[in-house]
């Protein structure tokens, strides 16, 4: 179970970190051309989303990898699960069922990491 938790946390951490950096570095117009939902948000809001994703992704990776306050991993997973619940809500509002299912997959994976690291295989 420990290996599965590591794999899921690393995949999620890398995905969120890379996605967040893209949101922070690409111009709003370029990003909105690739992701239509970004038209509903200002450049500053998309940057805020990028900061959230980058910090959440790093929170899923660094504490466990560096063995410095590893209890932050399930806390980051819980926080990112709340973030994904908001993203899924936005998908429902925009009537995007395929993207909604993708958000639910991320949400389930984050809850798996939080559940596993808080209870099943806690950091010692």
DSSP string, 15-51: HHHHHHHHHHHS-HHHHHHH-GGGGGS-HHHHHHHHH
pLDDT of residue 100: 96
pTM of the full structure = 0.91
Extract the residue ranges of the chain whose pLDDT is less than 70.
122-124
Give pLDDT, residue 120.
74
Domain boundaries, the chain: 2-120
């Amino acid at each position: 179970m420990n290996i599965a938790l590591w794999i899921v946390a690393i995949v999620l951490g890398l995905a969120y970190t890379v996605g967040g950096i893209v949101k922070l570095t690409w111009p709003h117009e370029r990003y909105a051309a690739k992701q239509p939902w970004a038209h509903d948000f200002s450049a500053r809001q998309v940057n805020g989303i990028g900061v959230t994703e980058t910090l959440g992704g790093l929170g899923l990776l660094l504490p466990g990898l560096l063995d410095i306050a590893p209890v932050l991993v399930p806390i980051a997973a819980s926080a990112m699960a709340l973030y994904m619940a908001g993203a899924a809500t936005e998908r429902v509002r925009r009537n995007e069922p395929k993207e909604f299912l993708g958000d639910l997959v991320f949400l389930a994976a984050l809850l798996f990491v939080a559940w596993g690291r808080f209870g099943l295989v806690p950091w010692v």
